[in-house]
Amino acid sequence: GQQVMQIPQYQHVQEGEDFTTYCNSSTTLSNIQWYKQRPGGHPVFLIQLVKSGEVKKQKRLTFQFGEAKKNSSLHITATQTTDVGTYFCAGQNTGGFKTIFGAGTRLFVKA
Amino acid sequence: DTGVSQNPRHKITKRGQNVTFRCDPISEHNRLYWYRQTLGQGPEFLTYFQNEAQLEKSRLLSDRFSAERPKGSFSTLEIQRTEQGDSAMYLCASSPTQGAVTEAFFGQGTRLTVV
């Protein structure tokens, strides 16, 4: 079945350093979404990417969708302590309703 | 509060008992999802409703699991004969059908502990 792999599993950074998490799907995706989950909280939607090669920015966050629509990345510039949490990618196949989440990358930021 | 509401927030049950969880989605959202999340993992898809129709169901949803959305509004997830392996956070999410973005709004979840 479809799988969505995410690396790294966790990352520790010093405040001000950059952070990147990568997502790879075993199948071509219709779209990919990114969510953030704070410790003890629920996933909160960040963004959706639909087009091949698409790049979107939200302040210090940059999201990319690969040309083959099978991989994606989230890059955070100059991390802050408020960035702490787990970042999940979630992919949907064309014509399907199922959203498959990756296992997430947990980000720790040391002040 | 106009967000997705889930009840109860916590449930402790003995192995073999039945449990039922409720989800009230955002009122104008036609799509409703159930997920299960265990520690250190991402949400795992269980089932999807569009209005009252259950359009997709994971193979993970064994015959002990059943979900309903009888009037296309709130939904219930029932687990019969609970097992310790059912212990997890059960998340409900809803999303609108209009527009290209299918953002899912998650509830706070119901944490199930089977003892």
For residue B97, what pLDDT band results from cuts at 50, 70 and 90?
confident
Partner B contacted by A31 (CB < 8 A): yes
CB atoms within 10 A of CB B23: 27
Contacts of B44 (CB under 8 A, 6+ apart): A101, B35, B36, B37, B38, B58, B60
pLDDT exceeding 70 applies to what percent of chain B?
96
Q: Cα(B94)–Cα(B61) distance, rounded to whole angstroms? A: 19
Q: Across chain A, which distance is largest between two alpha carbons, in Å?
A: 44
Q: How far apart are CA B26 and CA B32, in angstroms?
A: 9
Say whether A42 and B106 touch across the interface (CB within 8 A): yes
pLDDT above 70 for B98: no
For B47, nearest residue in chain A (alpha carbons): A98
**Residue carrying the six token digits 């209009």:** B98
Residue A69 CA, chain-centre distance (Å), reads 14
Can you give the pLDDT of all 111 residues of chain A as single tens digits? 778 999 999 999 999 999 999 999 999 999 999 999 999 999 999 999 999 999 999 999 999 999 999 999 999 999 999 999 999 999 988 776 788 999 999 999 999
| B8-48 pLDDT per residue, tens | 999 999 999 999 999 999 998 999 999 999 998 999 999 99
Q: What residues have CB less than 8 Å from B93, skipping those under 6 apart?
A: A43, B4, B32, B33, B35, B104, B105, B106, B107
Instruction: Note whether A65 and A32 are within 8 A (CB).
Output: yes
pLDDT band at B99 (very low <50, low <70, confident <90, very high): low
Q: Give the separation between CA B93 and CA B104, rounded to whole angstroms.
A: 6
- The identity of residue B103, as a single letter, is E
Model pLDDT, residue B23: 98
B41–A103: do the CB atoms touch at under 8 Å? Answer: yes
For testing contact with chain A, the best of B36, B102, B111 (most A CBs within 10 A): B102
Which pLDDT belongs to residue A2? 75
Question: Inter-chain contact B56–A97, Cβ cutoff 8 Å?
Answer: yes
Q: How many CB pairs under 8 A join A and B?
A: 56
Q: What tokens were used for B112?
A: 């199930």
